[in-house]
Structure 1
Amino acid sequence: MTQRTATNRAKKKPATKASSSSRAQRNARSATPKARNARTSAAQAAPPSKKKPSSTQNQAKSKPASAANRKKAAASSTARTKSKTISANRSAQGKASARKQAVKKRTTKQKRTVLTSVHDAISAVGTLVGHFSKRVMLAFVAALVLAVGAIGTAVTTETRIQADLDGLPSYITEDMVSEARSMQAHYGHPAGCTIAQIIAESSYQGDLSRLAKEDHNLFGMKWANSFAKCNGVVGPTNWDTNEEYDGQYVQINDAFIEFESDKACIKFRSAVFLQASTYADNALIQQAIAERSSTLMAQGLQDAGWATDSSYANKLIAIMDQYDLYRFDI
């Protein structure tokens, strides 16, 4: 153990010297700051040197100047930027103001145009209303006149019909008289003779016969197959009837025409039955149409063979005289 310690100690000697040298170096380094501090203090205490500044010092001094220049440049740049911004703002404001003025002008113009259009429209509407009012008034007056005329015509027609029916048998209706007049206007067959035939053919004990009531056959017209498709014709129907042969009356059963209505029957008589050559070519019937004479019409019907009764024309004339049926020929 003693030897190892001695050896170790012997080995540590150079290290000790080295350590001493290191301490000297550290002391020297540690002294250097002190010396520097001392030199600095001396320099500060000493008067300023008249030596020309070195380039390093010039650079040091020039740095503040460069900073100032940069500040000035920055300030100048800022000023220019502000000036440009202000100019740009003013320009933008000017443009905006110009746009606003233009928009305002357009808006004002549009408003004026709209107001003008509205005014024109109102004027037009007023004019139309005026015309419309006039037209309405004229239409109203015209309608009123027509209504009054229609009422007057209706009253006149009703009065005339009532006058026509006065004194006639109760079974003679307004439709019968009206259609007889209509056929006279269209075909020339005198209306007085037409009404006289209805009374002669269909009268039975103060009323119409069953043939006239049930089948609307007012003239005792017999059936023929050619009548099947005529307007207002329903078809054939069989009835017992009395007919004169050689001065003697014989009851027979024969086919007669059934009609839809009394008016259909009267129309068929003029439009179909009397258009057959037997009647249409008869001279007396033609003369009766030309002169509108019920007396000649009655004579022409008997002459053409309408009935087997030898006194048929005289019977019709007697009926016309009794009820004054000539008044319907006018």
Structure 2
Amino acid sequence: MKKLLFIICLVSFMFSCKTRKKIVDKPETTKTQTVVKAEETPIPSVTLKKVYTNDTERYIDAYRAIAQHEMQLYNIPASITLAQGILESGSGNGRLSVEANNHFGIKCHDWIGARIYHDDDKKGECFRKYKDAKYSFRDHSLFLKDRKRYAGLFKLKQSDYKAWAKGLKAAGYATDRKYPQKLISLIERYQLYKYDKEVLGDKYQNVEEAVLPQTYIVVKGDTLYSISKKYNLTVKELQNMNGLTDTALSIGQVLKVEPSNN
């Protein structure tokens, strides 16, 4: 009888220990599984969206690289290209830019590609249409580079955005008398000249600090005589100063007109 009681007690004790072990082990197993699941859970990435204060800033950010590339290829200041694009396209919101990717208001002329009709100086005028805005920027570069009336612009320093702005008006790019001032205002307000500096690097020269000869851009109706009187020079002095052998002038031509010390 004592043996039987001893066996029963022994079995009960062993069963009790086994039960307690399972109870203790279970939380540890659960904890390990929880940690593994937490480590395998991916952390979501956060994308910050750039905020612009106006459409002009958005336009500059979208097209500055294209303008700089055109500057590298055709020597037209990126600041001038961007300012013209902003002004002509209404910061990308104008009908021509939205429906035709035409950012510079270039009319058809001898164009054989797609076209769009839009009221400008006259009703229903023909304008060029492009598949992508980048082609509008390239056509703008070629438009200036390939026409003789703009040849004087390419004798100007690429850092002298003021002279370029005035030269465009003098060569007949726009009829608005305030066109140069509008371009210069945009360039200085949004510091577009910094994109010229990025392209030119060490070759960049700050036109506000540089000591440059005074120049004059020829406009319609100018003669060597009228210009010489304006700057207290003789016609001969003006010719010698600019290497001219006759009195012929062209619109947009850049002349040195350093005033006499007398």
TM-score with structure 1 setting the length: 0.41
Match of 1:127 in 2: none
Matched, 1:321 2:188: yes
Could you tell me which of 133, 142, 162 is aligned with 1:295? 162
Match of 2:133 in 1: 262
Code of the residue aligned with 2:195 in structure 1: it is: F
Equivalent pairs: percent with the same residue?
A: 26
In the alignment, is the contact (CA less than 8 A) between 2:60 and 2:82 conserved in 1?
no
In the alignment, is the contact (CA less than 8 A) between 1:195 and 1:325 conserved in 2?
yes
Matches within 5 A, 1:83-162: none
Query: Whole-Å Cα distance in 1 between the matches of residues 64 and 147 of structure 2?
Result: 24
Match of 1:222 in 2: 107
The 3-state SS of whatever aligns with 2:114 is strand
Match of 1:286 in 2: 154
Query: Whole-Å Cα distance in 2 between the matches of residues 171 and 208 of structure 1?
Result: 11
Match of 1:135 in 2: none
The runs of 5 or more residues in structure 1 that have no matched partner are 1-161, 229-233, 244-250
Query: Whole-Å Cα distance in 1 between the matches of residues 174 and 143 of structure 2?
Result: 17
Query: Would you say how many aligned residue pairs link Structure 1 and Structure 2?
Result: 148
The 3-state SS of whatever aligns with 1:252 is coil
- Give 1:197 shift: 0.5
In the alignment, is the contact (CA less than 8 A) between 1:202 and 1:208 conserved in 2?
yes
The 3-state SS of whatever aligns with 1:218 is coil
Could you tell me which of 301, 310, 319 is aligned with 2:177? 310
- Give 1:286 shift: 2.1
Could you tell me which of 199, 220, 226 is aligned with 2:86? 199
Query: Whole-Å Cα distance in 2 between the matches of residues 173 and 224 of structure 1?
Result: 28
Match of 1:43 in 2: none
In the TM superposition, structure 1's runs of 4+ consecutive aligned residues that sit over 2 Å from their partners are: 165-168, 271-274, 290-293
Query: Whole-Å Cα distance in 2 between the matches of residues 173 and 166 of structure 1?
Result: 12
In the alignment, is the contact (CA less than 8 A) between 1:292 and 1:329 conserved in 2?
yes
Query: Whole-Å Cα distance in 2 between the matches of residues 261 and 275 of structure 1?
Result: 22
Larger Rg: 1
Query: Whole-Å Cα distance in 2 between the matches of residues 291 and 211 of structure 1?
Result: 28
Q: 1:170 to 1:326 in 2, by over 3 A?
A: closer
TM-score with structure 2 setting the length: 0.51
Q: Deviations over 1:43-76 (max 9, x none)?
A: xxxxxxxxxxxxxxxxxxxxxxxxxxxxxxxxxx
Code of the residue aligned with 1:315 in structure 2: it is: K
Code of the residue aligned with 1:235 in structure 2: it is: A
Code of the residue aligned with 1:212 in structure 2: it is: S
Match of 2:63 in 1: 176
The runs of 5 or more residues in structure 2 that have no matched partner are 1-49, 198-262
Match of 2:96 in 1: 211
Code of the residue aligned with 1:238 in structure 2: it is: Y
Larger relative contact order (Cα-Cα within 8 Å, sequence gap ≥ 6): 2
**Greater per-residue helix proportion:** 1
Match of 1:49 in 2: none
Q: What CA RMSD, in Å, does the superposition of the two structures yield over aligned residues?
A: 2.5
Query: Whole-Å Cα distance in 2 between the matches of residues 174 and 271 of structure 1?
Result: 23
